[in-house]
Amino acid sequence: MLSTKLDIKKFFINEQEYYSTDNFTLLDVLQYLNFNTSLSVVEYNGYIITKKSWKNIIIKDLDQIEIVTIVGGG
């Protein structure tokens, strides 16, 4: 009998815990959560990540992601 083990990733977005078995990028996360990517700044594992790199970063187990949206006003 073959055993299949799911590779479950636990990661954090703005200190909230998430779990997934899928592979996806940082850009996928932002789009899935409906963040305005033109007004967002992302910190990934302690580093500010440029927007052009978002599509190249694959989310891994225990990743720490902080997303801040810039809001204007007066």
Summarised one tens digit per residue, pLDDT across range 49-68 is: 999 999 999 999 999 999 99
CA distances from 20 to 35, 37, 39, 60, 61 (A): 19, 22, 26, 10, 9
The structure tokens listed for 58 are 């694959």
Task: Give pLDDT, residue 43.
Answer: 98
Q: What is the pLDDT of residues 14-31, one digit of tens each?
A: 999 999 999 999 999 999
In order of their start, the domains of the chain are: 24-74 (3.10.20.30)
pTM: predicted TM-score of the whole model, two decimal places: 0.85
Q: Which residue has the tokens 């990733």?
A: 9
CA distance 27 to 33: 10
